[in-house]
Structure 1
Amino acid sequence: MRTGSEPRTARSALRARFWLSLWGLLWALFGMVAFVITGRTGWAIACGVLLAIVTIDLAVVLRRIRQGPHYQPGPGVPPYRPPDDRP
């Protein structure tokens, strides 16, 4: 059932975002180190910027996971207020 408030009540798969950002963190770190070793400064800076963005995203995801079920409701909690069936 659509309530019209989906953008406001949309939920994210936080565990999937956690693992994907962890994967991105590892690759950005590896890329930055590899480009620093080979002397490609521009690519190393690009990987460093990507590393910073991924680290911030990982911190946000971990914060939201730790906030608990209010911010990450389970299958028993509807993502919207149930419609009022009273006439």
Structure 2
Amino acid sequence: MRTGSEPATARSPLRMRFWLSLWGLLWAAFGMTVFALVGRPGWAVACGVLFVVAAVDLTMVLRHLRQGPHWQPGRDIPPYEPDHGGTGRGRTRHGHPRRG
């Protein structure tokens, strides 16, 4: 939700997250393999968990990169009224406009 306090040029560092996730994925795979070969199953499992976390993050980053940029309102659009958990002004309980 837009609050009006965010910078006008705010961007998510998705490309940096992509490379960091890839780096973590490679190191986790390397660590998992090495620890399994030297007989340290606990450390191998820990690296396996990190591998899964990095793989999920990489998948999400790739999904967001493929979606492309999203439209954001400009400076001439005022911030939205925050949702305070109520029904809102002029709306019914289900979010439909009130009649008459």
Q: Structure 1 length normalisation: TM-score?
A: 0.73
Deviation at 1:3, TM superposition (A): 2.2
Aligned-residue RMSD, C-alpha: 2.2
Aligned residues: 73
Unmatched tracts of structure 1, length 5 or more: 71-76
Is the helix fraction higher in 1 or 2? 1
- Structure showing greater radius of gyration is 2
One-letter amino acid of the structure 2 residue matched with residue 18 of structure 1: F
Deviation at 1:35, TM superposition (A): 0.2
Deviation at 1:69, TM superposition (A): 1.7
Q: Distance in 2 between matches of 1:59 and 1:84?
A: 33
Q: Structure 2 length normalisation: TM-score?
A: 0.64
Match of 1:48 in 2: 48
Unmatched tracts of structure 2, length 5 or more: 79-100
Matches within 5 A, 1:26-41: 26-41=26-41
C-alpha change, 1:83 and 1:51, in structure 2 (3 Å) is same
Please identify runs of 4+ aligned residues in structure 1 that moved more than 4 A.
none
